[in-house]
Amino acid sequence: MFRVLRTERGFSLTELMMTVAVAATIMGMAVPVMTDVSATIKLNEAARMVERELQDARLKAVQTNRPLRVRTNCPGLGFIRTFEVLGTAADALASRCLTNTIYPFPSDPDNDLSTSPNYDGPVRVVPNAATVTTVNLEFQPDGTVFTVAGPAVSRMATEQTMTITRAGRSRTVRINGAGKIQIQ
C-alpha cells in the first residue's frame, strides 16, 4: 500500500484572526498620525499662499514701478487682496477690498497705463479655513516695505509678523523693511 502524503495548505482561523488584529492595531495607530500630518499640510499650504501673495506684490511693485498694497482680512476674515496705490483718500477705504465696486478685478479693459488702477489683484481666499492676522503693507517700487495705518504710511522700523492659524496651530510669515519675506 502506498500512502499519499497530503500537505495541508492555508491558514487556520486563529492565524487569520491574529493577522487581522495586528493589522487593525497598526491602522489604529496610523490614523491619528495621518490626521496630524494632514492638518500640518493644510496649514503650510495657507502660509505659502500668504507668503506668495506678498512676494508677488513686491515683485509687481518693482516691475511696474508703482506702489502696491496688500491687505489681509479684506473684505472679511480669511481674505487677502493686493491693489495699486492711487495716492488718494480711496486707498484707505474698505471699498478697495471689494471687487464688485469701482475697483473690479480684472480692471476695466483700458490699456492706458496713465490711468489708475491697472494693477489691482483679485480677492483671494486664504485656503483651508485658515485665518491670518490683519496687516496692511505697502510695497514700494524699490522693493522696500512700509506699514499702513489708516491714511498714514511709514517706513517699517521693526520686522512685521503675520500669523496664519488653522485648527489651533500656527505659522508665522516675517517681513522686514528691506522686503525680505520668509515663513517661520
Cell 498714514 sits on residue: 152
CATH topology for 13-183 is minor pseudopilin epsh fold (3.55.40)
Question: Cα(72)–Cα(110) distance, rounded to whole angstroms?
Answer: 27
Give the residue from 57, 110, 102, 108 showing the smallest Cα distance to 84.
57
Q: What ranges do the domains of the chain cover?
A: 13-183
pLDDT the model gives residue 34: 75
Phi-psi sector, 101: left (phi>0), alpha (psi -120 to 50), beta? beta
Amino acid 45: pLDDT: 95
pLDDT of residue 110: 58
Q: What is the pLDDT of residue 101?
A: 66
Q: What pTM was estimated for this model as a whole? A: 0.79
Locate 163 and state its grid cell.
Answer: 500669523
pLDDT at residue 94 in the model:
77
What is the pLDDT tens value at each position of the chain, 184 positions in all?
A: 566 666 677 788 898 999 999 999 898 887 777 777 888 899 999 999 999 999 999 999 999 999 999 999 988 889 999 999 988 887 777 778 876 667 777 666 556 666 667 788 888 999 988 999 999 999 999 999 999 987 888 998 889 999 999 989 999 999 999 999 999 8
